[in-house]
Structure 1
Amino acid sequence: MTFIIGCCFGSFGYLLITRHMAGISSAWPPSHCTACKSKLTWYELIPLFSFLIQAGRCRHCHVKFSSAYFWAELSCGLVFLLCLPAKILPTSLLLVFWLYTAWLLSIVDIYTQTLDSKIFFWTTLLLWCAQFSLHSVFHWETLLYCGFFACFFLRYYQNKMGAGDLYLLLAWSPWLSFYQFCLLLLISSSLGLLYFLGAKIVKKHTDTLPFIPFLSGGLFVVSCVLKNF
């Protein structure tokens, strides 16, 4: 059930993000095939299953749908499945919210290679309010270290790492211990390097690299996979 709920959040979130980037209302028009404009029925909108049953094609014009929806639903479902324990606590819900907002920002970064200011501001505000309301530990030392780190990169390596990535790290840093923050940097940098090397091997053109997905991957590993280490 947790996985299914996560897939639904992934489908809805991806829809909101793509419409937001295109400047289209999130409520209208209803979901439809972009090729033939046919309105999709409820059984064509079931996360994962509809895509698989229809072989990734429109029932009406048989044009292929983008597989991005499928992977977005699957990845979000896995985040919910792996991060929500059997006994759901407020702290675990907060963690899933944190990872979900990171997931949303990652989708935007993949398409635009920017940090969406509106999504970033409101999700960060909600995250901080929730953290304070649950009396989470505020790690001043991590925030100060991240502040020095951000100033150094903005001063000397601005072309190597986007300002949006640094703002995101600053927003996350108070809620991570110094050890967790260093691990996040190590893991996200390693993931980015592996992707870059893989792209070189397959000769994929990569002038710039969206880094928020790798930061989100590092956050996922630190907060879910390595939380007991």
Structure 2
Amino acid sequence: MIAASWLLPLAGGILGAIFGSFIGALCSRWPGGRSVMTGRSQCDQCQRTLSAMELIPLLSFILQQGKCRYCSGAVDSDQFGAEMLAALIGAAAFAFLPVEPAAATAIMGWLLLPLIFLDYRHLWLPNRLILLLAVAGPVAGHTLIPGYQLTVQLLAGAGAFAAMELLRHGFKWLRGKEGMGAADPKLFGAIALWLPPLAIPYLLLVASGLGLLMLFLLRSKDAAFSDKMLPFGTMLGIAAIAVQFAVLL
């Protein structure tokens, strides 16, 4: 029984690592205009095509100590990070939640991960990924929210988007400059489709807290820090995963 109890978390972790490999490749290639669906994976340094044994999620990075076998150039650590985080999300979901909510929570986390990485590295939240997250929310929502009502969730999502969009325009009107990216309200609305309406204020609270923490850390490292844009979409994504787990546990 003890061994059996670890099968689902193990499977969730393995599946997460596989998804994480795709997420890492997506975040590496897409900003440069390269397709993740075509072309063989290559070393970023020497451009040598990588073999299947060099593309095993997590294990290849560990065994090769984060270096290319041919040129010893450093492998992008974000690839390993994406695989590890996706594995942890899958393992944690199936370790602590019933099967259906676990699957939905893992999918939510895996859909959020590329948005978290892309916004952190490039201040970019692609509309196509936000739309995919928004469409998947109502499909999976009934497994996550007791007494799920589609109309209520759609209104919650629209309300979340409208509130943040109003805040974005209000800041611009008062300060005369952009204080928030145009995609942040869209992401906030898409995430709201996954959460109980009463959890949405907590999502904003946790995301804002993470943003203030990052601001404090940046200022502690750079006394001249002032106008650097913060990746609030990254904060929203991290907060959404944390709040979803908190709601279900």
TM-score by length of 2: 0.80
Q: Which residue of 2 aligns with 1:210?
A: 231
Counterpart-to-counterpart distance in 2, 1:123 and 1:214: 16
Cα gap change, 1:218 to 1:104, in 2 (>3 Å): same
Query: Is the contact made by 1:109 and 1:115 (CA closer than 8 Å) also made in structure 2?
Result: yes
Say if 2:136 is the partner of 1:126: yes
Say if 2:157 is the partner of 1:136: no
Q: Which runs of 5+ in 2 are unaligned?
A: 1-9, 173-177
Structure 1 counterpart of 2:210, from 175, 180, 191? 191
Aligned-partner SS, 1:99: helix
Equivalent residue letter for 2:198: Y
Say if 2:146 is the partner of 1:146: no
Superposed CA RMSD: 2.6
Q: Which residue of 1 aligns with 2:197?
A: 178
Say if 2:57 is the partner of 1:47: yes
Deviation at 1:132, TM superposition (A): 6.5
Cα gap change, 1:124 to 1:147, in 2 (>3 Å): closer
Equivalent residue letter for 1:76: A
Cα gap change, 1:52 to 1:155, in 2 (>3 Å): same
Q: Which runs of 5+ in 1 are unaligned?
A: none
Q: 1:12-51 residue pairs with structure 2 within 5 A? A: 12-51=22-61
The structure richer in helix per residue is 2
Deviation at 1:31, TM superposition (A): 1.1
Q: Which digits, 9 at most, give the CA deviation of each residue in 1:133-192, with x for residues without a partner?
A: 998334356346425522431331242222211111112224423331111111111111
TM-score by length of 1: 0.87
Cα gap change, 1:198 to 1:152, in 2 (>3 Å): same
What is the percent sequence identity of the aligned residues?
25
Deviation at 1:58, TM superposition (A): 0.8
Q: Which digits, 9 at most, give the CA deviation of each residue in 1:95-152, with x for residues without a partner?
A: 2212211112112212321220122223322333443699833435634642552243
Query: Is the contact made by 2:82 and 2:113 (CA closer than 8 Å) also made in structure 1?
Result: no
Q: 1:41-190 residue pairs with structure 2 within 5 A? A: 41-85=51-95, 89-131=99-141, 136-138=148-150, 139=152, 142-143=156-157, 145-158=159-172, 159-190=178-209
Task: Name the count of aligned residue pairs.
Answer: 228
Counterpart-to-counterpart distance in 1, 2:191 and 2:82: 23
Say if 2:241 is the partner of 1:227: no
Aligned-partner SS, 1:36: coil
Which one is further off, 134-143 or 88-97? 134-143
